[in-house]
Structure 1
Amino acid sequence: MNEYVDYIIVGSGPAGSVIARRLSEQTSNSICVLEAGQNDNNFFIRVPVGFVKTLYSGKFTWNYQTEPAQATNNRIIAMPQGRVVGGSSSVNGLVYSRGQREDFDDWEKLGNSGWGYADVLSYFKRSERRVGECDPDFRGLTGELPITNPDWSSPLCEAFIRGCEEFGIPRNADYNGAEQLGTGYFQRYIYQNKRVNCSDAFLRPALKSGRVQLKTNATVSEILFEGRRAIGVKYLRNGQTHTLYANREVILSAGAVNSPKILQLSGVGPHELLAGHGIEVKHALAGVGANFRDHYTVRSISRAKSALTLNELSKGWRLGREIVRWFAGKPSILGLSPSMVHVFWKTRFSPQRGDVQILFTPASYKPGSNYVLDDMPGMSTGARQQRPESSGYVHIQSKDPLQAPLIQPNFLEHELDQRTLVEALKLARQLMTTTAMAPYLVNELQPGKDVHRDDEWLDYARQKGTTGYHMVGTCKMGRQDDPMAVVDAQLRVHGMENLRIADASIMPQVPSANTLAASLMIGEKAADMISAQ
């Protein structure tokens, strides 16, 4: 028996959840959300620090990996992505960061009319409920996603911020407001000590409308076409293949890895790639899977004098106390995001506009581990370039929809990325050695005192860097005469009908920020475009 709905949304992450919510409010049409993962009712999804249990478990994520690349010493780098209701908003680091206004003005300059900062600001504001003092000209006050400041702090965090001020970097209470540059505490989507994922904020209320249904454990294997018109999808569930038809549109919101993968499996993508795997080419579109970008991030680790870093607070009787406090609704380390303090700053390579970000946390992790806290008092910084020039690709390896694609980000391939990241790492060291930090710092453990020259810093970056979990660009938005563009400014796939993409894959460049906020904005804007048809 064939199933029909008006709209099919592939993916329940940030953009997909928002689109489902808004379409359920704006239209009387039927909507089905297909999610490859399971439900999000696990306890560790609700506890903010539960990400240490979920991000690399494989239970709630696609355990993707990069291909080796010479620029990163031929290492294979883990790149997990959410595979659960709520997508990566259920397993990520909880930071809410929009980016610079110039990021979106750049999108518009690339030929995407209606995507400048003045156009997208209202869409950022629509979904957020800023809790705390802010400028309502820039911030949303009535949206569904609560954005809060940390209610737990550490003397080390305050010392680091004072050290930034000592260095000449001003304190900025709202990097999502008028100006991003400066230092302060990260804002996050944690409310009353719990993670608020996009399922909580958007999808679950949409399901209550009766116009939205959700199918979990449903892996889309192919988009169905009549000519170049999308008419539905095939998906795998419980070992069987099912077919679902769309009366109006198919909307891909599966993320920067899975959206291009599904297109390629469906015969939409680079001709040579598809033909090489024996896939009928429905529409040759060279940009599908190209332009893959991410924030390559390198951590430095220092030993602390303090006996009250998160390393100590997470063990023994102290951890028991923090658990009790969390259940009592009081400030607790269980209610924290992994990075607490931000620095947005600029290097000599971008004197007019911030181009690097430093992250600070009063904790350190055991070498080679995935977020296992160290046994000694420790602190760490992360350094990244805001807008990397290096780009790579996502390519299917076969017709098998269950086989992971090849992911090659080409981190550090571009010389500017190398130079800028070295400047960011040197800045991070300077910020750890200020007068304000002196009472807490014992010594730098990684990379250590022997690393000084730029080539030594770069070698360290090649050895230790990893994903920032901010994957974008593989279904780039751009004009039809751009040979690498996949969607137009209305997010419609070039050359196709009734097929739209709305997720981080459409971003032509990675924003100077984490990607959840911009993905929500894309979902909000997409919903208006879809309902206006």
Structure 2
Amino acid sequence: MSKATTSFDYIIVGAGSAGCLLAKRLSEDPTVSVLLIEAGGRDSYPWIHIPVGYLYCIDNPRTDWRFRTQPAAGLNGRTLLYPRGRTLGGCSSINGMIYMRGQARDYDHWAALTGDDAWRWESCLEDFRRHEDHYRLDDGGSEQQRRFHGHGGEWRVEQQRYRWQVLDDFAAAAREAGIPATDDFNRGCNEGVDYFEVNQRAGWRWNTSKAFLRKALARPNLTLWHDSLVERLDFAATKGAEEPRCTGVSVHRQGQQVTAQASREVILSAGAIGSPHLLQLSGIGPRELLEQHGIAVIKEAPGVGENLQDHLQLRAVYRLEGARTLNTMVHRWWGKAAIALHYLFKRSGPMSMAPSQLGIFTRSSHDQQHPNLEFHVQPLSLEAFGQPLHEFPAVTASVCNLNPTSRGTVRLVSADPREAPAIAPNYLATAEDRQVAADSLRVVRRIVEQAPLAQYRPEEIKPGAFLQSDEELQQAAGDIGTTIFHPVGTTAMGRADDPMAVVDSRLRVLGVSGLRVVDAGVMPTIVSGNTNSPTLMIAEKAAAWIRESVSSCGHD
């Protein structure tokens, strides 16, 4: 097979959420050259852009890596489909489009763990605002809204374009259960109930490819390679330096093995699964694991692929009477036709829906100091993702533990870069997580018992009202729990004296020069909410630091 070599100043691996933002920011300097490499194809598949199209993108090889988890004891031996975006825009092209930052305490905790005040909430807020284009400020907004939101940036945030009476009633029931109303989940404390805001523009999905990349690709100093698999990072010893330097990447592209060299930095933005896998394939990771697969150790880093955290959602399903839900609409041909026409002419209706419409943040018990549960409430139900909707009216209240204490792993299983790593989220591995799971299902029941929902005569289908004890509900959580697609933590940032830290607080890989990781994997602890927009905030910080490092000294 022929080989070729080419050179750039920066190489970004992964054109997902972080990679698209980084490509735009770094290429704003016309004196540098930037290469962005994506294993998947262009985001030209129509279902990427229609909000309901996530149904056709997840588990589709055109847009998804189609990973599966290892059998999990906490899930009673089950494995899960583990979607990760494989197309321009990455997970922002297949996710739920929910705009959520988490809680201020998440970022203050990162600052304490790393010793770097750049991660404090007030600093992170500026980075969120920098790329935000929030609908609340379209007409100027209030002083408070301008304090917490930005306008004119690339990342559009809008209200959902369709409401359901049954969800309005569910929200009223939550308020009657003692959960306050809120009009903004993104001011640092997200406790309350309201409809989610979404990353859409005029009824279309707004992914990071459209937001950050499309116009930037007109720049002569930005090169995109799609359908190109980075197989390994390349390293060289640097004269007089103790650390090896990452000099570029080896790529399989258009039937060739290509070496792309980076004179300044290689930046991994392949996600919390892809980045640790690529580091391990390249000789950075736990020594025993690398030697087991015949991979030469470039840098022993026991934290690579460890510390995996994810939000496990428990899908409580209630059968209703007399409710208008998506279930009954799609089981009639005229219902489907009406849905299609509604979207065609108004960019509204069920086809404009995010997977979850109503959000609730609350506490699993009175002894919780902060909201530790997130609900994604949907006017529909089905046995499992990818299966048909039930033929009866129903609502699904998915609830997840925002701050799980269970930790999992991502580990290569072979030196072949085409072989998927072993993903073991290790859900419900701790007694604390199992107790929160049982308590959270009781919170669902408390809401459903309130008067605003009585008109629908709700009947608990899953997990089943006959399950009452902690032990029964914990067993049920293992039966019905599934990922909500928020893996983080596998290349965690930390202090230099933390043996499990992979990157420093400025996201540089410890013990290696010329290499950073910029994606959700660097989160030392998972945020208290959805992870896509926090990943953009991380990339915004990283872009500024990378440019500052060049202006100050030429190299890190």
* Same fold (TM > 0.5): yes
Partner of 1:318: 335
Q: Which runs of 5+ in 1 are unaligned?
A: none
**Corresponding residue number in structure 2 for 1:6:** 9
Please tell me whether residue 48 in structure 1 is matched to residue 51 in structure 2. yes
Q: 2:478 aligned to 448, 462, 467, which one?
A: 462
Matching residue of 1:526:
542
Give secondary structure in 2 for the equivalent of 1:458: helix
Partner of residue 100, structure 1: 103
Matches within 5 A, 1:362-511: 362-365=379-382, 367-370=383-386, 372-511=388-527
Inter-partner Cα distance in structure 1 for 2:513 and 2:379: 51
1:286 partner letter: P
1:157 is aligned to 2:146: no
Query: How far did residue 191 of structure 1 move?
Result: 1.4
Deviation at 1:323, TM superposition (A): 1.0
**Residue identity matched to 1:37:** G
2:166–2:324 contact (8 Å) kept in structure 1? no
Check conservation: 2:179, 2:192, Cα contact below 8 A: yes
- Determine whether 1:90 maps to 2:93: yes
Alignment of 1:231-270 (within 5 A): 231-270=247-286
Contact kept in structure 2, 1:236 and 1:242, CA below 8 Å: yes
Aligned to 1:258, what secondary structure does the other structure show? helix
How far 1:371 moved relative to its partner? 5.5
Q: TM-score, normalised by structure 2?
A: 0.94
Q: Counterpart in 1 of 2:552?
A: none
What is the 5 A alignment of 1:26-425? 26=29, 28-113=31-116, 114-132=118-136, 135-227=145-237, 228-315=244-331, 316-348=333-365, 350-365=367-382, 367-370=383-386, 372-425=388-441
Rounded to whole Å, the distance in 2 between the matches of 1:28 and 1:171 is 50
TM-superposed CA distance for 1:474, in Å, is: 0.4
Say if 2:277 and 2:410, in contact at 8 Å, map to a contact too.
Answer: yes
Shift of 1:25: 1.8
Shift of the 328–406 alpha-carbon distance from structure 1 to 2, 3 Å rule, reads same
Give 3-state SS (helix, strand or coil) of 1:231's partner: strand
Percent of aligned pairs with the same amino acid: 36
Structure 2 unaligned residues grouped into runs of 5+: 238-243, 550-556
Aligned residues: 532
Q: CA deviation at 1:149?
A: 1.2
String of CA shifts for 1:238-287, please: whole Å, max 9, x gaps. Answer: 34321111111000000000100000000011100001100000110110
Spell out, residue by residue over 1:420-440, the C-alpha distance to the aligned partner (whole angstroms, 9 max, x if none). 121111111221221001112
Aligned partner of 1:269: which letter?
A: G
Distance 1:53 1:386, change over 3 A: same
1 CA distance for matches of 2:418 and 2:297? 20
Amino acid across the alignment from 2:74: A
Query: For residues 217 and 480 of structure 2, what CA distance do their matches in structure 1 show?
Result: 43
Deviation track 1:328-371 (CA, whole Å, cap 9, x = no partner) reads 13421100101111110113375321111122111111x24426
Instruction: Report whether the alignment pairs 1:514 with 2:524.
Output: no
Contact 2:448 2:458 in 1 (8 A): no
Alignment check: 8 A CA contact 2:102 2:188 kept? no
Structure-2 separation of matches of 1:468 and 1:376:
24
Structure 1 residue 237: deviation in Å?
2.2
1:21-57 deviation per Cα after TM superposition (whole angstroms, max 9, x unaligned): 1112245311111000011011100100000011122
Question: Is the Cα–Cα contact under 8 Å of residues 20 and 31 in structure 1 kept in the other structure?
Answer: yes
Q: Quick check: 170-179 or 401-410, which moved more? A: 170-179
CA contact (8 A) 1:138 1:178 kept: no
Q: CA RMSD in A?
A: 1.3
Decide whether the 8 Å contact of 1:358 with 1:424 is kept in 2.
no
CA distance in 2, matches of 1:330, 1:480: 50
CA deviation string 1:132-164 (max 9, x = no partner): 366111111221111111121011111011111
